[in-house]
Amino acid sequence: MAARRGIFITIEGLDGCGKSTQLERLAGVLRADSLDVLATREPGGTALGDRIRGVLLDSATTGLSPWAEMALMFASRAQHLHELILPALENGRIVLCDRFTDSTEAYQGGGRKLGSEAVLSLHRVLCGNIQPDLTILMDSEPGASVARARRRNRARAASDAGEADENRFERESRAFFDRVHNAYLAIARREAHRFFVVDARRSPEVVHPEIVAAVRERLKLAARTA
């Protein structure tokens, strides 16, 4: 694998925790500093990945086995790394990615009970064990976050018939999201060196500067060791 000159930052959390808003605002701040930012997301990020995303998130997809679900998440990711993320990092860009393998460990490993070992093994085989330089975990209350995600999806469905239905995960039970939440916290403890956990129960205006400060700190560190 070619040398990696850029910085790989991922953002994680439960559905409806406010990740996408924070990622957009963070990208805006970094671009205002004249940094070259690639903002992307999973599942998706490439033409193939977006097709896989459609299958995974559409509530019309029924009876998908948890193992097939995990395989599709990794198929999207392997393509995303090959086509977008690794070339961007080789070109020295800052990659901001909304979800990555920690999502698979939390949702499929924890939520679907497939366990961490299977996720980590697939990550080694299919993704060259690529790890983010920094992972921001937006820690939120499962009940409140999922209620917010469901409201958002209902509003989308009501306002624009052309929008994709992305509700399949939001239909899961409270127990499922509690397992996802606990799995995230366990990963953050295990991988403390790359995690920044931010309390996302507070307003976006309070959370935003804390995320920016953590990212700036990481960029400074990278500049020193370059």
* 72 part of the interface to ligand TYD, by CB under 6 A: no
Neighbours of 45 (CB within 10 A): 24
* 78 part of the interface to ligand TYD, by CB under 6 A: no
Q: Closest distance between ligand TYD and the C-beta of residue 206, in Å?
A: 20
The number of residues making up the chain comes to 226
Evaluated on CA atoms 128, 216, 44, 165, the torsion sign reads positive
Distances from the Cα of 52 to the Cα of 70, 135, 183, 196, 209, angstroms:
11, 24, 24, 29, 34
* 80 part of the interface to ligand TYD, by CB under 6 A: no
- Taking residues 152 to 171 in sequence order and writing x for each that binds ligand TYD by CB under 6 A, - otherwise, the string is -----------------x--
Q: Which one of 98, 109, 135, 181 is in contact with ligand TYD (CB under 6 A)?
A: 98
* 103 part of the interface to ligand TYD, by CB under 6 A: yes
Q: Which one of 80, 93, 99, 179 is in contact with ligand TYD (CB under 6 A)?
A: 99
Please tell me the distance from the alpha carbon of residue 216 to that of residue 48, in angstroms, as a whole number: 33
* 42 part of the interface to ligand TYD, by CB under 6 A: yes
Please tell me the distance from the alpha carbon of residue 143 to that of residue 48, in angstroms, as a whole number: 32
User: Which amino acid appears at position 118 of this protein?
Assistant: A
Q: Tell me whether residue 29 or residue 71 sits nearer to ligand TYD (CB atom).
A: 71
Q: Which one of 6, 43, 49, 132 is in contact with ligand TYD (CB under 6 A)?
A: 43
CA atoms within 13 A on the CB side of 60: 5
* 12 part of the interface to ligand TYD, by CB under 6 A: no
Chain centroid to CA 207: 17
The token pair at 143 is 């009940």
Q: Tell me whether residue 134 or residue 145 sits nearer to ligand TYD (CB atom).
A: 145
Please tell me the distance from the alpha carbon of residue 2 to that of residue 87, in angstroms, as a whole number: 9
* 133 part of the interface to ligand TYD, by CB under 6 A: no
Q: Which one of 73, 137, 183, 188 is in contact with ligand TYD (CB under 6 A)?
A: 73
Q: Which spans of this chain sit near ligand TYD (rule: CB under 6 A)? A: 15-16, 19-20, 42-43, 57, 73, 98-99, 103-104, 107-108, 149, 169
